Homo-oligomer: A and B are copies of this chain.
Amino acid sequence: MGAELTRKRVTLKDIAAELGLTHPTVSRALAGHEGISEETRKKVQQAARRLGYVANSGARLLRRGHSNVVGLLLPDMTNEFYAAVAQRLADDCARRGLQLLLSISANDPDRELAQVTALLEARPAGLIATLAPDAHPETLAYLAPMLCVQFMQGHPSLAGPVVTVEDSSGARKAMQHLLDLGHRAIAFVGPNADTPIGDARLRGIGEALAAAGCALDPDLIRLGPSTADFGESAVGSLLERGVAPTALYLSSAPLSLGGMRALSRRAAAVPGDISVIVAGGSPWYDAWPNGLTSVTLPGADLAAAAAEQLFRRLDGDEGDLPERLTLSFDLIRRGSTIPPSR
Contact = CB atoms under 8 A, between A and B. Distances in A.
A59 B55 CA distance: 15
A289 to B, nearest CB: 5
A201 to B, nearest CB: 21
A141 B58 contact: no
For chain A, the bracket of interface size reads 35 or more
Contacts of A99: 101-103, 118-119, 122
Given A67-B58, A83-B77, A264-B288, A142 B52 contact: yes
Contact of A62 (B59, B122, B290): B59
Contacts of A58: 57-62, 67, 122-123
Given A7-B145, A54-B121, A67-B58, A102 B103 contact: no
A260 interface: yes
Nearest to A119: B99
Given A101-B99, A142-B54, A288-B264, A90 B62 contact: no
Most chain B beta-carbon neighbours within 10 Å: one of A52, A55, A97, A283: A283
Interface string A318-340: 00000000000000000000000
Nearest to A53: B117
Given A57-B121, A61-B58, A104-B91, A78 B83 contact: yes
Interface in A120-142: 120-123, 138, 141-142
Contacts of A103: 90, 94, 99-100
A137 B288 CA distance: 43
Given A56-B121, A83-B80, A228 B102 contact: no
Nearest to A84: B78
B87 A78 contact: yes
A103 B102 CA distance: 10
B261 A122 contact: no
Contacts of A60: 58
11 contacts: A2-B141, A9-B123, A57-B122, A58-B123, A78-B84, A80-B80, A86-B86, A94-B103, A97-B118, A267-B289, A282-B282
